[in-house]
Structure 1
Amino acid sequence: MNWSSLNDRAYAPYSGKSKACVVESRSGKLFAGVRTENISYPITIPAVQAACAICLSEKEIPAKLYLEGDELDQLHFWKKEFQLEIIKTDSLPESPLEDPHKKWNADLDITARLKELLDQAVIPNSDFPVSALLFTSDGYLEGVNIEVSDWTKGLCAERVALSKAIAAGVREFTRLEIHTKKGEISSPCGACRQVITEFLPYNDIILHHADGTSSEHLTLDLLPFNFKSSSLKK
């Protein structure tokens, strides 16, 4: 793996500006993050936000940030938030990156795993844990909601799972399952619905509600008349 191949995993069809970085946790684990754009530009996920959120979702604390150049959106915030050591380098760290794409196991109890993941949510502000499993043809990726000192820099569980997938080079998905511990129903927020529509427009979204019931929906039904325009793509 090198910077070129990691940058190639970025999803940047609108700006054409691929960005990537690697966060090293205090325990020495390496988590990649890449720019994940959205047709609704303001909810684009910068590489450093993705990498730090992914690290936090795995119960790790960001300590170092590796980058190739000088420009990364939100760099100043995340550097200050975790007192990150910034390392500019032409080559990636020698240790392997964490692979978040878990292989399918027929014994997986989806509901039980979603409930277990709720304990990994980083929610100092809301105390509202959310978990998500994003499925592929042969595996899945996990996500929990992440909150930091600036609410606008947090990421929902659905977007953490998608950030993991894009950074891992995974683009084909089958369905998304979501669970909340509290509230009347489990439901993706509006921003997540827009991001989910970007990658899973005709897929099933299964919502596991706090009362033990579940419901199944088509992504497009969750966000009718969603914003889209082919003229925005470069």
Structure 2
Amino acid sequence: MYKELIDAALEARENAYVPYSGFKVGSAVLMEDDTIFNGCNIENASYGATNCAERTAIFNAVSHGHTKIKALAVVGDIHNFTYPCGICRQVMVEFAENREIPIIIIKNKDEYLVKTMEDILPGAFTKIDLDAEKEVKYV
């Protein structure tokens, strides 16, 4: 399973649109039915409009009707391990099948780390927290 995700993330990295930073990132997500979607980072002259590879891959999957991530892989700098940014972690947890899904942090096709969603975003704020809030009675 990891090899396919790693290959898809590395391939997506090559399509990154990074005219400002030059920092290419690729990502791939394995969804509940074993379909893999990938994405790359896409920069914009208005930096706030830039989209990260992880979110591109997830939004690609969701736009095709898939909402449960089984695993995610990400590659940035091929000489170092590049972890997802904070906003990507929050989007990842929104669609994670559970908090134990593997997050594969890739340096290159032979070197990678496997973490869990809980490892990289402990104590995440999720829809469960919103449901719990509705039950709180204010006096």
Q: Same fold (TM over 0.5)?
A: yes
Tell whether 2:27 aligns with 1:127. no
Greater fraction helix: 2
Match of 1:220 in 2: 118
Q: 1:160 to 1:117 in 2, by over 3 A?
A: same
Partner deviation per Cα, 1:143-179 (whole Å, 9 max, x = no partner) = 1001011111111001001111111111122111111
Tell whether 2:125 aligns with 1:230. no
* Aligned-partner residue type, residue 46 of structure 2: D
Match of 1:197 in 2: 93
Greater relative contact order structure (CA < 8 Å, 6+ sep): 2
Unaligned runs of 5+ in 2: 135-139
TM-score by length of 1: 0.49
CA distance in structure 2 between the partners assigned to 1:129 and 1:120 by the alignment: 8
Tell whether 2:105 aligns with 1:207. yes
Q: For the aligned residues, what is the CA RMSD?
A: 2.3
Q: CA deviation at 1:225?
A: 1.9
| Structure with bigger gyration radius | 1
Any conservation in 2 of the 1:186–1:210 contact (CA below 8 Å)?
Answer: no
CA distance in structure 2 between the partners assigned to 1:213 and 1:156 by the alignment: 22
Count residues with an aligned counterpart: 127
CA distance in structure 2 between the partners assigned to 1:138 and 1:211 by the alignment: 20
Q: CA deviation at 1:211?
A: 8.8
Report the secondary structure of 1:177's partner residue: strand
* Aligned-partner residue type, residue 230 of structure 1: L
Q: 1:230 to 1:162 in 2, by over 3 A?
A: same
Q: 1:157 to 1:215 in 2, by over 3 A?
A: same
Residue of structure 1 aligned with 2:8, choices 97, 113, 122 = 113
The percent of aligned pairs where both chains have the same amino acid is: 28
Partner deviation per Cα, 1:107-163 (whole Å, 9 max, x = no partner) = x74434332222200111111111111112231101100101111111100100111
Q: 1:153 to 1:222 in 2, by over 3 A?
A: same
Q: Which shows bigger deviation, 117-126 or 202-211?
A: 202-211
Q: CA deviation at 1:183?
A: 5.4
